[in-house]
Amino acid sequence: MTVSLQPVDERACSATREQLRQARRVVVKIGSNVLVGGGAGLVNRRVFCSLVEEIALLDRHPDRRIVLVTSGAIAVARRRLGIDKPPGGEPLSRKQALAAIGQPALMHLYAGEFELYGKQVAQVLVSPENLGERERFLNARNTLRELADVPDVVPIINENDTTSTAEIRFGDNDHLSALVAPLVDADALIILSDVDALYTADPRVVHDAQRVDLAWADDPALRALAVPPDPNGPGSGGMSTKLKAARVAGANGIPTVIAPGRLPGVLQAVLNGEPVGTLFIPRERTSARKNWLAFASRPAGVLTVDAGARAALADQGRSLLSVGILSASGEFTAGATVDIASTDGAVFARGIAHYSSREIAVIAGQPSERISELLGYSNGGAVVHRDDLALVESDRG
């Protein structure tokens, strides 16, 4: 399979590497495969101690703060209890129980190791519900930014696996790290992986796979390079979630680097602007509110629209009018976030509905001029206004 990525010009590459060198706030994500893989104890001590030392030393710079997003709670619990990962999968309740066992053990390891360098740790457990509602999202942003400014404290963030449901999990913390990056106003996102970079094919099975050094974060051709995770490994994300994370961070103007987590000095090398791993360059920054809509909000329902409405929204940047709506599924009130899908079920946009699901059922397919007649009142001609709407990339195909 041949994939043609959009070429990255030298000027954009140089500017982004300079942004890495000048980065004041950096989000570092450590995957389970990096943290646990290859070690005999609860974690791979060589890798774990090396990364903690490097983070602590980088964080000593008066103008630089490191925010750590870590996986590994479930993997640490398996090691502690002597339980192997079952080949056929396991129920969510078992994973949640393992997370509850492994999370305090993982934090104990971090706290003890960071203390050697005069650093305290602050645990922050986040669930999608915390970020899916706009008010809670803004509260989380304020708290994390305040925490990131506390000297000699390293915020350590993990998904709240114990309470998250299968349908709303972030996905191996890659997506979570991309959401945290703009929350803390980060200048860079570094995702440490057990592979050294993105490749044109799975390097585990294709020996002549070529390494990708540079790519635009929003290049749609990247989707063809998404490699699934190793089913026998402790992690669950794979390259697909990392590429999505790069796209989310890039939409916020934040460069992402996927780098080899077991390479000594990897973080310093990335922040020196050295060609380590794969650098994903942001192209055009969109509004923070629309990024929240596209990547963090939790939809309460789905509006299915006709081909004309889809073209008006996706190609012309217009608002969604009642006449283009075919149906509404789910129960929601006015002000709720909804997905917008075409007739084949593919979601292509997300926005804030100005009408409830019951109201939309009455006005769907009708011109805006009839809304007052049909409902006895009107919240405006647009069911979803273009200012409250963001296009999203369908997971289909």
pLDDT of residue 37: 79
pTM of the full predicted structure? 0.81
- Are 157 and 229 in a shared domain? yes
Residue 4 lies in a domain: no
Query: Do 232 and 337 have their domain in common?
Result: no
Do 386 and 249 belong to one domain?
A: no
**Whether residue 331 is found in the same domain as residue 217:** no
Any domain includes 2: no
- How do residues 81-128 score in pLDDT, each as one tens digit? 988 888 777 788 888 899 899 999 999 999 999 999 999 999 998 877
The count of structural domains within the chain is 2
Please report the pLDDT score of residue 167 as a whole number. 46
Question: Are residues 280 and 261 part of one domain?
Answer: yes
Residues 274, 350 within the same domain = no
- Which residue has tokens 């393992």? 98
Q: Is residue 222 part of a domain?
A: yes
Of 266, 288, 310, the position where a domain reaches its end is: 288
Residues 333 and 246 in one domain: no
One domain for residues 365 and 247: no
Domain span holding position 141: 10-288
pLDDT of residue 306: 96
- The DSSP call for residue 254 is -
Pairing of strands 382-384, 320-321: antiparallel
**In which element (H, E) is residue 61 found?**
none
pLDDT tens digits for 283-317? 877 777 888 888 888 899 999 999 999 999 999 99
Tens-level pLDDT at each residue, the chain (397 residues): 567 888 898 899 999 999 999 999 999 999 998 998 776 678 999 999 999 999 999 998 888 999 999 999 999 999 999 888 887 777 888 888 998 999 999 999 999 999 999 999 999 988 777 777 777 888 888 889 899 889 899 999 998 766 665 444 555 689 899 999 998 989 999 999 988 899 888 777 888 888 999 999 999 888 888 766 555 555 455 788 899 999 999 989 999 999 999 999 999 999 999 999 999 999 877 777 888 888 888 899 999 999 999 999 999 999 999 999 999 999 999 989 999 999 999 999 999 999 999 999 999 999 999 999 999 999 889 999 998 899 987 654 4
Residue type, 112: G
* CATH code, domain carrying 106: 3.40.1160.10
C-beta separation of 110 from 117 below 8 A = no
In this structure, is residue 1 part of a structural domain? no
Read off the CATH number of the domain in which 326 is found: 2.30.130.10
Cα–Cα–Cα angle for 265, 270, 273, rounded to 5 degrees: 130
Q: What is the pLDDT of residue 291?
A: 85
Whether 249 maps to a domain, the answer reads: yes
The confidence score (pLDDT) of residue 165 equals 55
Q: By the 8 A CB rule, do 244 and 258 touch?
A: no
DSSP string, 257-278: EEEETTSTTHHHHHHTT---SE
Are 34 and 138 part of one and the same domain?
yes
| Whether residue 35 sits in one domain with residue 184 | yes
Taking Cα atoms as reference points, which of 276, 123, 249 lies closest to residue 189? Answer: 249
pLDDT at 397: 40
**Residue 72 near residue 235 (C-beta atoms within 8 A):** no
Domain membership flag for residue 193: yes
DSSP string covering 91-154, please? -HHHHHHHHHHHHHHHHHHHHHHHHTTT-EEEEEEE-HHHHHSHHHHHHHHHHHHHHHTSTTEE
- Is residue 224 located within the same domain as residue 360? no
Does 139 reside within a domain?
A: yes
- What pLDDT is attached to residue 229? 57
Which residues lie across from 197 on neighbouring strands?
none
Q: What angle do CA 91, 175, 41 make, to 5 degrees?
A: 60
Domain boundary among 255, 288, 321: 288
Whether residues 95 and 157 fall in one domain: yes
Q: Which of 288, 311, 346 marks a domain boundary?
A: 288
Q: Would 345 be classed as within a structural domain?
A: yes
